[in-house]
Amino acid sequence: MNTPLVTIVVPTYQGEKSLPLLLDSFKSAITSVYERYFEIIVVVDGSTDKSIKVLERYNSSLSITILNKSNGGAASARNLGIDHANTQFIWMIDDDMVVNETAVKAVVNFYSKAVEVKTLVSGPCWIPENDKSMGENIDWHNSLYENLNRTGKIEDIMDCHFANTCASKEFLIDTGLFSTQFRQYGGEDNEFSVRLLKNDAQWLFIGDMGIHHIRDKKPLQELSEIRQSGASRVLLTQLHPELFETIFFQNRAGRIEKIVDRLPVNKKLVYTGIYYLSIAILYLKPMLPGRIVRSVERIGMIAAEIVGLYDADASEEMVRRVEGIPR
């Protein structure tokens, strides 16, 4: 049997509902023409749902390597998958993606030629037109790809992610892999990208390597992820303080931040209240006018990120800087 060329590494947590879509797409996209080029490793990151049973159901047709570990976050899950890979190249995909044959063909064609070890390659992540998730929360998907396609450069480290990215196993290991200090949602991609770029990574874009991101999340989960992302950004700032303004989009002070700043009450309690109120209102989303929904989403995301800062014990000075309010 020939040694595969690329290992697809998928970290999953509570992926019982999303995994079938991904695995069905693998069955359709990785045809007999391409199957010899790939191995698939799915790392179950301490899931308590039926993810393992779902994977076992597909194992006979896809030959999935299933790795089950205690919960430690996407960073540690990806690292475990990379460590177990038997190939020279890694294709990192999230568990709520859908792959097509065009992307599979693009990856095979790219790695069938000589490739510099420090080259990373990414493709688009398309959001379905009927997607109901928070618009501002998914802009990051294609910012990376649009900039790479237009300028060939990384313009914002916060755009960097590994939802649809390939790299050599050797280079990933040489750069130290993902930091396992990131146990919550967000931050691990950006932090690793900083180190990869300092290690002379060359990031390329392949338009044909596009996949779909199928989001099906309730307001509580979406805002919870943003809250966790706020906490992760505190850690990211501690590890790379020179990137503070890039990480937190400085000088953004809007009406909400200014109002809260004037209130003679505990700001953490105020932002926490706004956070939970936004979640409650967004559950009524189908009944509300679009303008109100967009306003509540924006306010909720601001509050979620700032509550995340408090979760991570950020100083009041940092909170004020994030708000964009001068001392």
d(CA 161, CA 174): 18
Please give the C-alpha separations between residue 211 and each of 93, 111, 128, 194, 312, in angstroms, as whole numbers. 9, 18, 11, 24, 34
Distance from CA of residue 52 to its chain's centroid? 22
Q: Are 164 and 125 in contact (CB under 8 A)?
A: yes
The superfamily (CATH) of domain 6-213 is Spore Coat Polysaccharide Biosynthesis Protein SpsA; Chain A (3.90.550.10)
Predicted pLDDT at 327: 54
Q: In 90-218, where does DSSP find H-type helix?
A: 101-111, 140-151, 169-174, 188-198
Q: Are 5 and 89 in contact (CB under 8 A)?
A: yes
Predicted pLDDT at 325: 66
DSSP 187-211: SHHHHHHHHHHHTT-EEEE-GGG-E
Q: 3, 1, 9, 13: which is closest to 169 by C-alpha?
A: 9
Percent share of the chain, pLDDT over 90: 56
Overall size of the chain counted in residues: 327
Predicted pLDDT at 143: 65
Residue 179's CB is within 10 A of a number of other CB atoms, namely 18
Predicted pLDDT at 160: 81
* Domain residue spans of the chain: 6-213, 219-323
Residue 68: which H helix or E strand, with range?
Answer: strand 64-69
**CA angle 103–120–73, rounded 5-degree value:** 85
Q: Which residues of the chain have pLDDT under 70?
A: 1-2, 129-149, 151-152, 249-253, 325-327
Residue 321's CB is within 10 A of a number of other CB atoms, namely 19
- Please list, in sequence order, all residues whose beta carbon lies within 8 angstroms of the beta carbon of residue 34, skipping any fewer than 6 positions away: 101, 104, 105, 108
Residue 264's CB is within 10 A of a number of other CB atoms, namely 4
Q: Are 106 and 37 in contact (CB under 8 A)?
A: no
d(CA 90, CA 197): 18
Pseudo-torsion of CA 275, 280, 285, 289, nearest 10°?
Answer: -70
